[in-house]
Structure 1
Amino acid sequence: MSVTKYYKSSVKKIFSIFLILPFFQQVIAQKNEAARYEIDTKRRGIELTDDAALLRGKEFERLDSTYYVGYLLEGYYKYNHSADYLGYKNAIPTLLKAKELMEKDFNPMLKNMFSNLDYLTQNYNRFQDYYSICNALKECYDNIEMPDSVMSLLNHIATYHFKKDFFGIYYHRAWTYHRNRIFTSAKYSFLKNSVGANERMAFKYCYEGLAFIKENEKENDEWFGQNQALADDLQIYHYLALLHCYNKNYDSSFYYYNILAQYGLISWNNYAGFQTEIGNFSNAQTFFKRDLSISYSGENVLKEPYYYLPELYIYAGRTEDAISLSNRIIQQNGSRPGFGWYNIALSRSYMYNDQLDSAENALDKAADFKELHIGTTLTQEQYEFTINLLRVNLLDRRIEELKFLHSNWWYSPTTLFKMAKLKWQKLMAEYNTCIELAYNPDRSRMVYDLFCSESTTTFDEAWYLMKDFNPKFFAKKYHNYQTTDKRENIQRYFKLFEAKFNYEDGRYKIAEQELENILSNTKLDSENEKLFLGRLYEAASRVYKISRNQYSRSFYNNLLLETYPQLIPFSNIRIPMRLETSGVDDETTEEIKRQLSHVNIDWTDKEKTPLVSIYFERRGDKYQATINVKSNTNIQVVSNRKLVFSSANNNVGNEIALRIFGKGGNVVFEEGSEY
């Protein structure tokens, strides 16, 4: 074929295609229109949360892959059934496709959605679909720590200029700035470059949101009913209460919480955190418990009261209640989001109950779990820091436990080796934790300030980290807090820390004077601040040992035993006690008494000293020890604590020594346990 003939043939083919193209387009359009009509018809009665939504979504995608509805159903199903990182990540592409396809077909409609009430009413179902897509997408981004994408999505929605903020654009921007305040624009482009600047942006968006509500109030009242603006205002007040609390504007925080409470929209969990921050620990317990009675919108969220209430129980010396509550939520929740945080709470609870093996096991579970921080301002950085700080606490207790169980530990090569290994592990753990702290611009608020409502560590854990570093610096810091911090109920904690740091710095006389001032002039909630009292009596015992004031030292040793006995084995305090045994007297019980003689207790025959009574009895091929302890003022410290064992070859004496001071654990002592 010649070039000319080939050219003419090609032109004819192309011309033919152009002639029939409109016909095919019309056929395709008719086919799509029919498919979409079928999809819309079949969709009626299907809720996004239905189990059949996924199958329907796939079916609709086959009918018309260019229509958003199938991807909405599939994407929302994936989002709604997600409980881990991969689940939310896999939902994002489908939701994004639904959003893009809907905007492609309905962009003019969305832009004119609020042009008049009739138009909104006529197209409200489409608007509801768009809301569902964007809200699910936003939640997915939040749940897998993609704040840049969250802000980009919110900014995009804002371009439609909807006259009512159904999407929470303003308050969610504020929350996103606040939650990511420790980062800078180097990590997330929308952020400012300091914690303070990010907090100012959070406040800015809250106040802009209130102005937006006011600007559109008249028209929205006509469309949605009188006082509709109040609900929108209250949503922003929720975040303003949080922001003001974090920024230590306590009067302003209380103002917003009070308004929220009047309308029944207060978060009792957040209000309980506020009460903890200002040192009203009894109130905090009450409001955390109230929040536990409220059902959550979904199972896959962190229920913060189950994390923070065990802390308050520890402050109150109710370590077994803390363990019970933590175990309960872990059993109910399974491995869904929150599992890691609950195990951290459980580890802490076991630690103050002197069950170090169980504490380590729970902490390891938390460290190995891929936590999602859903429905909370708590972050992955806080999660990792808390685990590392508790690891430091645990290793410190391991070291002190060895000293307690082996009073002559420096003569034992085996114990010295264990001690050296633990000290090396603690040094490495402290190093890692301090590096995290050094690079955290929010460290003053989260750690040093004590009792910040958004902190995930306790005042006692903060002490374990700081005590080995620059006591003069921290003594000055906590002296200054007494003039700059306005929380009256936290002042005593600042004073205690100043005294303890002065002691660590070798300024014993100053520390003694400061402790005497606290002991003489402090009023507190003795039922709910037993940990404070225990640390106060522990510090007093140490300082009076230095000054050789035996009477005062004995007095505060006894108060420590009555108030928080679980602290004693880890305090390196050797207290005088009397031992009385009764019941079975054979080689096994004699061996146990010999083991008890080697622990760091000053066994004595003096009458006015705490009394340890142990009753041994045979139960078949096993023994049972019943332990009772009374202080020197006849206060029952340990009552009928049972321990069942088969022989004395597994350091039963060491276990009994710890249970003398309130250690919990199984009644049956595990074979092969070591110390």
Structure 2
Amino acid sequence: MLQQIARYFAFFFFFLLAYAEQAQAQMIPVNHPRNQQKRYEIDAKRMGTDFNSNDALPRSREFIRTDSSYYVGWMYEGMYKVNHAADFLGYKNAILPLKKALDQLERDYTRQLRVRSADLMTYYPAYRFQMDYSIIAYNLMDCYNNVEQPQDAFNVIRKALRWNFQNEGFLQAYNYLAWTVHRNRFYTTAKFPFLRNSIVLNEQLANRYLDSAFRKIRIDKQLNAAFFPGYEDAARQGVYHYKAILYSYALNIDSAARYYNLMKETPIFSHNNYATFLAICGNFRQAEKEYEIASTQDAGDKRLQEWAYYSSILNIYKANPKKGIQDMKDMIKAVGSTPGFGWYNIALARCCAYYGDIGESERYIKKAEAFKEVHIGTTLGQSHYDFSINLVKLMNNIGRLQQIKFENRGWWYTPSDVAGVAEQSGSKYLLQYLIVNQFAMNPERDLVIYRLFSTESTVTWDEIWYLMRDFSTNFFTQRFQSELKDDQRKLIRKYFKLYIARLQMKKGNYKEAQQVLYDILNHERTDLEYEKLFVARTYGALAECAQKRKNTSEYNESLYSFYTNFPQLLPYSDLQPNLRLQVIGAADAKLVDRLKRCNINWVTSGKVLAPEVTLRFGSSGNKKTVTYYVLDRNGKEIVSRETYTYTKSEEAGLLLAYRLFNIDRKGSTEKK
């Protein structure tokens, strides 16, 4: 976000800065306080080298050799290091030259920094120094934030604010004061003196800073009107950007939408932020389109591309985790071990978990856990990162437990499986206990976790259930009933209802839960393409209610709908899937036997609604083959036709059991 705002103002002021330097070079000589001849020489050479270019480093060394007391050489060195930084150490190394440049600029050019004037000839000699100051201070602030030193970042902004520039250039001081407070809102004065002692008070403080930004823009307008046409409109757009962020976080939907509408059709409009806003309002279809635009808007930045991370979550909502897997692999390949690498591995691990490949999910989540992520240009921090990792680990732990039960329908008669279930259950409770303790210390749980959808949430709404499913049912029931009553987002209400139904089921109130679930299906608006995960979970809950109430026909109908919406979820549920089997050719008895030992109910009656599985056996040289596919009741393929060659029948039977649910687990069986 910071980079986007700065880039906008850089574009807006670039031609003015170039004109100012030309004017100074040709008409208005700078009165340097010392080493005038050397500084004139540096100024002349500076005209031919952009401080953002690769030549900035050799130029910086030349400038420092010529006059090490002149800020320009240190500025060029700092900017080069910022532009080439990709980790904690890189940004740390950029701080020293930037700080030195800022100190020298303040020491030697105090008079120019204090200039405020509506007279062009009075203002322009000072303009270059004020713009240089804003560039240096902005990047120094950014470096401090990137190495998690927000108090130092705040101090830089306050120092810049004291100069009261009429044109703030890169560093829109009040905006960044607001952003710095919002980014650290969950801390208190005890940790950082610039904060207040609660999230509510910190958000109020951030809003006051933005109100001050509006006031300063109005005051500066009188001075800037003559030679900065459009300055007021451009500066106000920056404030709108941060107002939209704060109101979105507070779920003040109308106000957030108002500020986003004020920014539309302007270069500052953040399609990424707007997409996230649409997503928390339940408009996933439009959110996906905005993330696609953001992918072109933010391309090339060395930081987390939020559009990519959150698009992977939308793919899960659409029951297409396979696309999310490929997209995240492409991102990881493109960025390497730069900021965002850890987040993409979390997203990849999550997609693998929803795809049913627990082994791959565990592999990628370990990579994320081992990576030292740098949280650049985002309000998402280490606490969000750790929480996301732990929830994926919990999902995988529960997935391992369910795998044992799925792969052997009589697991309780097998000592090794009983031991495995006990081990995974123990690990699950330990991990839940760890997460809940962290969760209890998280002051954002009311604003982010319980609301299921939030701009600061980095997990799916569905993952939250893995956390709370075994804890304090009465507390969570009351909590979600309160959210259902107070939340303004019409498209999100059904998610609270689903949680309330699930909690009623935990208490054994299956009739009450069933009524809530039917109310969801009959009265709530649902996008059947973009909310397949929600639909599947709703039918899964209905199937459980029907099972408990011994309503067989309703159970079969709900189970079928669960399968057709998101088949990968079924082997990891507590439900036994219904499938109907047709074998063509000479069956491999060992393969079929292994398949039937899995927790699948192979129905024979034509009256039972169930997907139709077809297996066609054959051979290819010395190897055996099996072609399989699954059809719905209308003859449409749910699982596409595939042929596998194999040598080990039992291994192939187990792999095939998962493939019937569209889960392609990594294994030794070879795809043809």
Query: Normalising by the residue count of structure 1, what TM-score does the alignment of the two structures yield?
Result: 0.91
Distance across 2 between alignment mates of 1:526 and 1:306: 23
1:176 is aligned to 180
What aligned pairs does 1:462-477 form with structure 2 within 5 A after superposition?
A: 462-477=464-479
2:205 is aligned to 201
Deviation at 1:180, TM superposition (A): 0.9
SS of equivalent to 2:649: coil
Deviation at 1:114, TM superposition (A): 4.7
Letter in 1 for 2:613: V
Distance across 2 between alignment mates of 1:140 and 1:276: 30
Q: Could you report, residue by residue, the CA deviation over 1:85-126 in whole angstroms, capped at 9, with x for unpaired residues?
A: 000001111111111122211122212365843233123333
8 Å Cα contact 1:393-1:461 kept in structure 2: yes
1:23 is aligned to none
2:583 is aligned to 581
2:279 is aligned to 276
Distance across 1 between alignment mates of 2:340 and 2:398: 27
SS of equivalent to 2:163: coil
8 Å Cα contact 2:116-2:223 kept in structure 1: no
What aligned pairs does 1:530-549 form with structure 2 within 5 A after superposition?
A: 530-549=532-551
8 Å Cα contact 1:111-1:160 kept in structure 2: yes
Distance across 1 between alignment mates of 2:379 and 2:635: 47
Q: Could you report, residue by residue, the CA deviation over 1:229-250 in whole angstroms, capped at 9, with x for unpaired residues?
A: 0110111001111111111211
1:7 is aligned to none
Gap regions ≥5 residues in structure 2? 1-31
Letter in 1 for 2:469: K
Letter in 1 for 2:641: N
Q: Could you report, residue by residue, the CA deviation over 1:15-36 in whole angstroms, capped at 9, with x for unpaired residues?
A: xxxxxxxxxxxxxx99944443
Deviation at 1:209, TM superposition (A): 0.5
What aligned pairs does 1:516-665 form with structure 2 within 5 A after superposition?
A: 516-585=518-587, 589-608=588-607, 609-632=610-633, 634-648=635-649, 651-665=651-665
SS of equivalent to 2:582: strand
Higher alpha-carbon deviation: 60-69 or 494-503 = 60-69
- Which of 298, 304, 307 matches 1:305? 307
What aligned pairs does 1:413-428 form with structure 2 within 5 A after superposition?
A: 413-428=415-430
Distance across 2 between alignment mates of 1:614 and 1:358: 27
Distance across 2 between alignment mates of 1:113 and 1:639: 70
What aligned pairs does 1:354-433 form with structure 2 within 5 A after superposition?
A: 354-433=356-435
- Which of 310, 316, 319 matches 1:314? 316
1:22 is aligned to none
Q: Could you report, residue by residue, the CA deviation over 1:509-528 in whole angstroms, capped at 9, with x for unpaired residues?
A: 22222223323333311111
SS of equivalent to 2:54: coil
Q: Could you report, residue by residue, the CA deviation over 1:550-608 in whole angstroms, capped at 9, with x for unpaired residues?
A: 110011011111111111001121133222223454xxx32211111211011232224
Distance across 2 between alignment mates of 1:665 and 1:293: 33
- When the two chains are superposed, the root-mean-square deviation of aligned CA atoms in Å is 2.1
What aligned pairs does 1:200-219 form with structure 2 within 5 A after superposition?
A: 200-219=204-223
Deviation at 1:670, TM superposition (A): 6.9
Higher alpha-carbon deviation: 386-395 or 608-617 = 608-617
Distance across 1 between alignment mates of 2:376 and 2:61: 28
Distance across 1 between alignment mates of 2:59 and 2:268: 37
Letter in 2 for 1:515: L
Letter in 2 for 1:637: I
SS of equivalent to 1:458: coil
User: Would you say how many aligned residue pairs link Structure 1 and Structure 2?
Assistant: 637
Distance across 2 between alignment mates of 1:294 and 1:309: 15
8 Å Cα contact 1:622-1:647 kept in structure 2: no
Distance across 2 between alignment mates of 1:202 and 1:536: 40
Higher alpha-carbon deviation: 99-108 or 73-82 = 99-108
SS of equivalent to 2:189: coil
Deviation at 1:386, TM superposition (A): 0.6
Distance across 1 between alignment mates of 2:508 and 2:298: 53
Deviation at 1:343, TM superposition (A): 1.3
8 Å Cα contact 1:642-1:667 kept in structure 2: no
Distance across 2 between alignment mates of 1:344 and 1:365: 8
Tell whether 2:348 aligns with 1:349. Answer: no
Query: Per the alignment, do residues 38 and 228 of structure 1 end up closer, same or farther by CA in structure 2, a change over 3 Å counting?
Result: closer
Query: Per the alignment, do residues 209 and 598 of structure 1 end up closer, same or farther by CA in structure 2, a change over 3 Å counting?
Result: same
8 Å Cα contact 2:298-2:305 kept in structure 1: no
Deviation at 1:456, TM superposition (A): 0.5
- Which of 56, 59, 79 matches 1:56? 59
- Which of 324, 330, 333 matches 2:332? 330
Distance across 2 between alignment mates of 1:267 and 1:644: 49
SS of equivalent to 2:598: coil
8 Å Cα contact 1:537-1:556 kept in structure 2: yes
1:438 is aligned to 440
8 Å Cα contact 1:138-1:150 kept in structure 2: yes
What aligned pairs does 1:448-487 form with structure 2 within 5 A after superposition?
A: 448-487=450-489
Deviation at 1:272, TM superposition (A): 1.0
Query: Per the alignment, do residues 32 and 219 of structure 1 end up closer, same or farther by CA in structure 2, a change over 3 Å counting?
Result: closer
Deviation at 1:417, TM superposition (A): 2.2
SS of equivalent to 2:617: strand
SS of equivalent to 2:264: helix
SS of equivalent to 1:488: coil
8 Å Cα contact 1:171-1:236 kept in structure 2: yes
Letter in 2 for 1:214: R
8 Å Cα contact 1:310-1:349 kept in structure 2: yes
Letter in 1 for 2:49: I
Deviation at 1:216, TM superposition (A): 1.9
Letter in 2 for 1:578: R
Deviation at 1:421, TM superposition (A): 2.2
8 Å Cα contact 2:630-2:638 kept in structure 1: yes
Tell whether 2:161 aligns with 1:158. Answer: yes
- Which of 496, 514, 517 matches 1:515? 517
8 Å Cα contact 1:447-1:457 kept in structure 2: no
SS of equivalent to 2:614: strand
8 Å Cα contact 1:88-1:144 kept in structure 2: yes
SS of equivalent to 2:452: coil
8 Å Cα contact 2:87-2:374 kept in structure 1: yes
Deviation at 1:653, TM superposition (A): 1.7
Deviation at 1:633, TM superposition (A): 5.2
What aligned pairs does 1:116-265 form with structure 2 within 5 A after superposition?
A: 116-166=119-169, 167-225=171-229, 227-265=230-268
Which structure is larger by alpha-carbon Rg, 1 or 2?
Answer: 1
Distance across 2 between alignment mates of 1:294 and 1:75: 26
8 Å Cα contact 1:114-1:162 kept in structure 2: no
Query: Per the alignment, do residues 316 and 593 of structure 1 end up closer, same or farther by CA in structure 2, a change over 3 Å counting?
Result: same
Deviation at 1:612, TM superposition (A): 1.4
8 Å Cα contact 2:580-2:604 kept in structure 1: yes
Q: Percent identity?
A: 35
1:14 is aligned to none
8 Å Cα contact 2:281-2:489 kept in structure 1: yes
Higher alpha-carbon deviation: 203-212 or 43-52 = 43-52
Higher alpha-carbon deviation: 278-287 or 215-224 = 215-224
8 Å Cα contact 1:340-1:365 kept in structure 2: yes
Letter in 1 for 2:95: I
Higher alpha-carbon deviation: 385-394 or 158-167 = 158-167
Distance across 2 between alignment mates of 1:453 and 1:50: 35
Deviation at 1:392, TM superposition (A): 0.8
8 Å Cα contact 1:644-1:668 kept in structure 2: no
Q: Could you report, residue by residue, the CA deviation over 1:366-404 in whole angstroms, capped at 9, with x for unpaired residues?
A: 111111122222111101111111111111111111111
Q: Could you report, residue by residue, the CA deviation over 1:455-499 in whole angstroms, capped at 9, with x for unpaired residues?
A: 101110011111111112111221222211111111111111101
- Which of 288, 291, 296 matches 2:294? 291
Deviation at 1:58, TM superposition (A): 2.1
Deviation at 1:264, TM superposition (A): 4.9
Letter in 2 for 1:596: L
Distance across 2 between alignment mates of 1:264 and 1:644: 55
